[in-house]
């Protein structure tokens, strides 16, 4: 049964390995994935722990549906204390690792301590062992995985690994699996690196018994029909996420030259259709590839068409790479995009963070804030493709003063660079924002400020707010599973009703992260995709766990609240620009300069924005300061946390 | 004429849904190890090839079976195992040129594709059509059409090249 999948606690200092069954009570409270990971993080780390120290833990946590029969359920969360933000770190990857881990008998691996030499962990049919990684240390992301297969003599092994960026403790290094699947953003890769942990590998042939196989099979068919009939997924299955670039850049939603503009000009070369042509020319007509059990197949294959990296195979690029490597730095060239995307995959570094930090440094250079004698000979100008490519190398290998400084993460780098460098950084909680520009979209701006792990689009972004859906449609979406009769607005420039949308999406995305379902299978980019009602069924047919849509909503609320408890414990305060729920001043002070008529000339109205935060806190059950109300803790059965049940 | 499983590996996205549904349909569990169809992968170059039983006319598994437990149902176009007769010697596993006959180490018996009695679940769930269930004649016609397209395209391209000189 999926519910039998265990937690393995591995202490790399002592070599001890403990295998634990997840109590049913905890399953019902957190399901798995991100929710259970948040519970483990809160319970197993002391306050103020050094993210790079042995007392930090890294938790690899598959969703409860990983390994079962439900479309798009290969998702796995990686949680730890962040090297980038000094707060909660969470990243989520798809691919094939979590299902393999489930077949090996585990859903969750928690690693403590620090090994005295490079090691990797191998999970196999109920067993866990720590193995030497001396020969593997130093290898890039893909080669690490092939080397582990060779070491174990099994081509079916799947691994979650770090690349050179993680080994070199780059504050935003990823944990990765496959060619490009990444648990990114917060530096979980650096935490693995600090533990001398190169990889967690899995191979399993254990049955995962489906509670109601016939129903699960038939429901999955319906589930798939719903997912593949959505236009947004059909487009994504043809062009990949780059299709979002085309739409967003045309109306003016892409931050360019760090934050100076909100639209990248002369960007035809990186339009999705052109990238698709390159994919077709280099990898053939059928060049889309998928994660485990998924019909969206949103990932393109490509080979770099020209230059020193000509012929190198990689996958993607995603929308995020377009923005980070071409929009923010104003280098909209396909080859630059494909090379940068490849380097990020190869070294195991977060594309958003590294692109953002390079563009931030470019703006500092332009403003004369970076000391000219510390650029190590790099011509750090916007529009200089070579500088972007060169800086990726320098950061990942910490070469020179600038490479080493930027590798520490934005806030740490701004402390070293000094002057008013911090004011130019588009970040929340120490994490740089996605490359999108939210000055014309208050709902999206609110999501950036409030996302639990830092400025981010995958924790609560109401992306469908951009579709101008009629109010009755919005009402239908946001009134399930809990009735909502407050205001809603179809207008993306409005402020009313948006806090509830952000609150609803925060719970929706947490629910999929606990279940292990991909966000492209829910109300993220498409308004017709499955959510709570469907999950109640898919969970029951696959695992036998009988939970109502409302109960799943409560799991999500509870899990989000545990993340909040952790953040508050680690020093989050509402208006703190470095550790709080507040945007950079540029959102309020610098009007947008490009874009559609209802986009150009806009700023976020700070007064209205602060009121939106108040309203969001109210929905979530927080007081005016952003602290958790005692009655909320009681309602969510969190009064006794940390409860150390696991 | 009976239908056949037609695998067009170029269309495969590597998602392995076929493996999931095959094992659930037959055994009520998800386990790729129990699946009759298996996606072979070369991830470093993005190549995925589903492999399953070809339901051979002159099937080596059938010929080698010492207890005649394997027979061919011509109406269904399917090579079948009689588990009452099977002694589990695995000779069929050894001789199958496609590796399509497997041995299940949990139940300790051989197993292969049975076309789900005419409604193959791998086909039903493969939304990109990498695995299809078609009349045998159709496979050849389809291939002929693609070959003809390639030829005519090559012809046009060479004519265009000639025109340049």
pLDDT at B143: 83
Cβ–Cβ gap A286/B128 under 8 Å:
yes
Distance, CA of B15 to CA of B127 (rounded, Å): 11
Cβ–Cβ gap A68/B30 under 8 Å:
yes
pLDDT at B154: 77
Cβ–Cβ gap B44/A208 under 8 Å:
no
Q: Which of A217, A311, A520 to mutate to test the interface with B (most CBs of B within 10 A)?
A: A217
Q: Of how many residues is chain A composed?
A: 646
Given CB atoms, is B48 within the 8 Å cutoff of chain A?
yes
pLDDT at B17: 98
Q: With contacts defined as CB-CB under 8 Å, which chain A residues touch B105?
A: 205
Q: How close B123 gets to chain A, by Cα (Å)? A: 12
Cβ–Cβ gap A289/B48 under 8 Å:
yes
Q: With contacts defined as CB-CB under 8 Å, which chain B residues touch A297?
A: 13, 15, 128
pLDDT at B110: 96
Tokens found for residue A108: 């969750």
Q: With contacts defined as CB-CB under 8 Å, which chain B residues touch A233?
A: none
Q: How does the average pLDDT of chain B come out, rounded?
A: 93
Cβ–Cβ gap B20/A293 under 8 Å:
yes
Tokens found for residue A85: 């933000």
Given CB atoms, is B80 within the 8 Å cutoff of chain A?
no
Task: Flag whether B161 is in a domain.
Answer: no
Cβ–Cβ gap B28/A220 under 8 Å:
no
The residues, any chain, with a CB within 8 Å of residue A180's CB and separated by 6 or more, are: A299, A314, A315, A316, A341, A345
Q: How close B19 gets to chain A, by Cα (Å)? A: 9
Q: How close A11 gets to chain B, by Cα (Å)? A: 30
**Calculated CA dihedral for residues A269, A271, A272, A276, nearest 10 degrees:** -20
pLDDT at B161: 77
pLDDT at B1: 64
What is the per-residue pLDDT across A427-467, written as a single tens digit (0 to 9) for each? 999 999 999 999 999 999 999 999 999 999 999 999 999 99
What is the per-residue pLDDT across A135-146, written as a single tens digit (0 to 9) for each? 999 999 999 999
Task: Flag whether B159 is in a domain.
Answer: no
Cβ–Cβ gap A209/B29 under 8 Å:
yes
Burial degree of A508 (CB within 10 A; 0-12, 13-18, 19+): buried
pLDDT at B153: 83
Nearest by CB to residue A207, choosing from B25, B106, B128, is: B106
Please check whether the domain covering A2-203 is classified as CATH 3.60.9.10.
yes
pLDDT at A632: 98
- Chain A residues with CB-CB distance to B under 8 A? 67-69, 71, 96, 103, 142, 146, 178-179, 205-210, 213, 216-217, 220-221, 224, 228, 283-295, 297, 301, 313, 315
The pLDDT of A572-579, averaged and rounded, is 96
**In angstroms, what CA-CA distances link B83 with B71, B87, B105, B111, B119?**
11, 8, 16, 9, 21
What is the per-residue pLDDT across A91-123, written as a single tens digit (0 to 9) for each? 999 999 999 999 999 999 999 999 999 999 999
Domain ranges in chain A? 2-203, 237-432, 442-635
Per CATH, A237-432 and A442-635 having the same topology is answered no
Which residues, numbered 4 to 23 in chain B, qualify as contacts with chain A under a Cβ-Cβ cut-off of 8 Å?
A: 10-17, 20-21
pLDDT at A201: 98
The residues, any chain, with a CB within 8 Å of residue A520's CB and separated by 6 or more, are: A72, A227, A233, A236, A296, A298, A526, A529
The pLDDT of A336-341, averaged and rounded, is 98
pLDDT at A371: 87
**In angstroms, what CA-CA distances link A545 with A209, A374, A548, A551, A555?**
13, 59, 10, 11, 13
Nearest C-alpha neighbor of A94 from the set A203, A175, A209, A205? A175
The pLDDT of A578-606, averaged and rounded, is 96
**In angstroms, what CA-CA distances link A199 with A79, A174, A442, A476?**
15, 12, 40, 44
Cβ–Cβ gap B13/A289 under 8 Å:
yes
Percent of chain A with pLDDT over 70: 100
Distance, CA of A317 to CA of A241 (rounded, Å): 8
Nearest C-alpha neighbor of B42 from the set A72, A301, A343? A301
pLDDT at B164: 72
The pLDDT of A293-306, averaged and rounded, is 97
Nearest by CB to residue B30, choosing from A208, A295, A301, is: A208
Nearest C-alpha neighbor of A197 from the set A49, A398, A57? A57
pLDDT at A235: 96
Given CB atoms, is B28 within the 8 Å cutoff of chain A?
yes
Task: Flag whether B141 is in a domain.
Answer: no
Q: How does the average pLDDT of chain A come out, rounded?
A: 97
What is the per-residue pLDDT across A167-179, written as a single tens digit (0 to 9) for each? 999 999 999 999 9
Tokens found for residue A195: 């533990």
Q: With contacts defined as CB-CB under 8 Å, which chain B residues touch A221?
A: 124-125
Distance, CA of A591 to CA of A581 (rounded, Å): 21
Cβ–Cβ gap A297/B31 under 8 Å:
no
Domain of B33, in residue numbers: 3-136
For residue A607, what is the enclosing H or E element? helix A606-620
Q: How close B87 gets to chain A, by Cα (Å)? A: 24
Cβ–Cβ gap B45/A285 under 8 Å:
no
Distance, CA of A92 to CA of A76 (rounded, Å): 5
Q: With contacts defined as CB-CB under 8 Å, which chain B residues touch A224?
A: 125, 127
Is residue A513 predicted with pLDDT exceeding 80?
yes
Distance, CA of B8 to CA of A153 (rounded, Å): 29
The pLDDT of A244-259, averaged and rounded, is 95
Given CB atoms, is B44 within the 8 Å cutoff of chain A?
yes
pLDDT at A566: 98
Nearest by CB to residue A221, choosing from B12, B48, B125, is: B125
**In angstroms, what CA-CA distances link A62 with A66, A88, A541?**
6, 18, 19
pLDDT at B81: 97
Cβ–Cβ gap A210/B128 under 8 Å:
no
Tokens found for residue A208: 């995962």
Task: Flag whether B150 is in a domain.
Answer: no
Q: Which of A94, A286, A291 to mutate to test the interface with B (most CBs of B within 10 A)?
A: A286
Cβ–Cβ gap B46/A289 under 8 Å:
yes
Confidence of residue B165 (pLDDT cuts 50, 70, 90): low
Asked if A298 and A288 touch (Cβ cutoff 8 Å), the reply is yes
Q: How close A70 gets to chain B, by Cα (Å)? A: 9
Please check whether the domain covering A442-635 is classified as CATH 1.10.599.10.
yes
Q: Which of A213, A215, A312, A342 to mutate to test the interface with B (most CBs of B within 10 A)?
A: A213
**In angstroms, what CA-CA distances link A202 with A64, A74, A102, A106, A129?**
17, 14, 9, 9, 11
What is the per-residue pLDDT across B87-103, written as a single tens digit (0 to 9) for each? 999 999 999 999 999 99
Q: What is the DSSP letter of A323?
A: I
**In angstroms, what CA-CA distances link A610 with A430, A440, A564, A581?**
20, 16, 19, 10
Nearest C-alpha neighbor of A498 from the set A508, A489, A506? A489
Given CB atoms, is B51 within the 8 Å cutoff of chain A?
no
Question: What backbone phi and psi angles, to 5 degrees, belong to A80?
Answer: -170, -175
Tokens found for residue A289: 């590839």
Residue B14's domain is classified under what CATH number?
3.30.70.20
Instruction: Work out how many domains chain B is built from and give that number.
Output: 1
Distance, CA of A396 to CA of A322 (rounded, Å): 19
Fold of A237-432: 1.10.569
Distance, CA of B55 to CA of A491 (rounded, Å): 59
Cβ–Cβ gap A69/B21 under 8 Å:
yes
pLDDT at B158: 78
Say if the ipTM goes beyond 0.90: yes
Asked if A72 and A294 touch (Cβ cutoff 8 Å), the reply is yes
Q: How close A67 gets to chain B, by Cα (Å)? A: 7
């Amino acid at each position: 049964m999926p519910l039998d999948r265990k937690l393995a606690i591995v202490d790399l200092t002592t070599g001890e390995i403990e295998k634990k069954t997840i109590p049913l009570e905890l399953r019902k409270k957190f399901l798995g994935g991100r929710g259970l990971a948040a519970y483990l993080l809160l319970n197993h780390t002391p306050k103020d722990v050094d993210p790079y120290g042995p007392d930090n833990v890294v938790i690899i946590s598959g969703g409860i549906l990983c390994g079962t029969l439900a479309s798009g359920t290969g998702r796995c969360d990686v949680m730890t204390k962040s090297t980038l933000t000094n707060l909660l770190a969470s990243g989520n990857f798809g691919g094939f690792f979590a299902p393999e881990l489930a077949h090996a008998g585990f859903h969750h691996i928690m690693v403590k301590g620090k090994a005295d030499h490079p090691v990797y962990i191998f999970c196999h049919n109920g067993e866990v062992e720590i193995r030497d990684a001396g020969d593997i240390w130093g290898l890039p992301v893909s080669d690490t995985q092939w080397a582990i297969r060779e070491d174990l003599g099994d081509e079916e092994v799947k691994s979650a690994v770090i690349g050179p960026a993680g080994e070199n403790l780059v504050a935003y290094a990823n944990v990765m699996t496959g060619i490009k699947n990444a648990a990114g953003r917060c530096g979980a890769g650096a935490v693995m690196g600090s533990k001398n942990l190169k990889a967690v590998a899995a191979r399993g042939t254990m049955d995962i018994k489906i509670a109601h196989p016939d129903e699960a099979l038939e429901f999955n068919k319906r589930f798939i029909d719903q997912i593949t009939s959505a236009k947004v997924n059909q487009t994504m299955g043809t062009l990949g996420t780059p299709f979002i670039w085309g739409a967003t850049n045309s109306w003016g939603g892409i931050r360019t030259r760090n934050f100076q503009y909100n639209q990248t000009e002369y960007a035809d070369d990186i339009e999705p259709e052109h990238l698709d042509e390159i994919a077709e020319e280099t990898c053939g007509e059928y060049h889309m590839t998928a994660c485990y059990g998924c019909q969206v197949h949103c990932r393109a294959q490509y080979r770099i068409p020209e230059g020193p990296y000509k012929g190198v195979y990689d996958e993607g690029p995603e929308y995020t790479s377009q923005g980070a490597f071409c929009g923010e730095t104003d280098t909209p060239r396909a080859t630059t995009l494909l090379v940068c995307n490849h380097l990020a995959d190869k070294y195991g570094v977060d594309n958003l963070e590294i692109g953002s930090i390079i563009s931030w440094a470019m703006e500092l250079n332009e403003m004369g804030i970076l000391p000219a004698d510390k650029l190590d000979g790099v011509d750090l100008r916007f529009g200089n493709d070579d500088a972007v490519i060169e800086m990726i190398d320098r950061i990942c290998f910490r070469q020179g003063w600038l490479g080493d400084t930027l590798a520490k993460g934005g806030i740490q780098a701004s402390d070293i660079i000094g002057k008013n460098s911090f004011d130019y950084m588009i970040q929340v909680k120490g994490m740089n924002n996605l490359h999108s520009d939210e000055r014309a979209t208050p709902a999206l701006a609110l999501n950036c400020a409030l996302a639990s792990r830092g400025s981010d689009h995958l924790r609560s972004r109401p992306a469908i707010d951009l579709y101008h859906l009629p109010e009755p449609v919005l009402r239908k979406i946001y009134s399930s599973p809990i009735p909502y009769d407050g205001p809603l607005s179809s207008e993306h420039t409005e402020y009313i009703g948006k806090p509830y949308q952000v609150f609803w999406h925060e719970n929706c995305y947490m629910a999929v992260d606990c279940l292990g379902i991909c966000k492209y299978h829910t109300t993220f980019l498409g308004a017709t995709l499955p959510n709570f009602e469907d999950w109640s069924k898919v969970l029951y047919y696959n695992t036998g766990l009988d939970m109502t849509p409302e109960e799943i909503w409560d799991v999500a609320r509870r899990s989000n609240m545990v993340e909040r408890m952790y953040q508050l414990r680690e020093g989050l305060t509402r208006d703190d620009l470095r550790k709080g729920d507040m945007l950079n001043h540029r959102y309020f002070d610098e009007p947008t300069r490009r874009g559609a008529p209802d986009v150009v000339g806009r700023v976020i109205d700070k007064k209205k924005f602060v009121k939106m935060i108040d309203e969001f806190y109210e929905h979530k059950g927080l007081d005016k300061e952003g602290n958790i109300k005692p009655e909320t803790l009681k309602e969510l059965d969190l009064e006794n946390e940390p409860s150390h049940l696991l | 004429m009976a239908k056949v499983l037609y695998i067009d590996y170029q269309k495969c996205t590597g998602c392995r849904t076929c493996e999931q549904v095959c094992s659930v349909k037959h055994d009520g569990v998800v386990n790729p190890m129990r699946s009759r169809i298996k996606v072979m992968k070369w991830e470093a170059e993005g190549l995925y090839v589903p492999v399953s039983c070809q339901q051979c006319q002159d099937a080596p598994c059938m010929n080698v079976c010492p207890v005649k437990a394997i027979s061919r149902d011509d109406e269904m176009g399917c090579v079948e195992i009689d588990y009452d007769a099977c002694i589990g010697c695995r000779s069929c596993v050894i001789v199958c040129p496609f590796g399509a006959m497997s041995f299940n180490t949990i139940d300790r018996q051989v197993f292969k594709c049975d076309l789900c009695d005419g409604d193959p679940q791998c086909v039903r769930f493969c939304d990109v059509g990498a695995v299809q269930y078609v009349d045998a004649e159709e496979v050849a016609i389809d291939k002929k059409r693609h070959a003809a397209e390639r030829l005519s395209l090559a012809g046009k391209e060479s004519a265009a090249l000639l025109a340049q000189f």
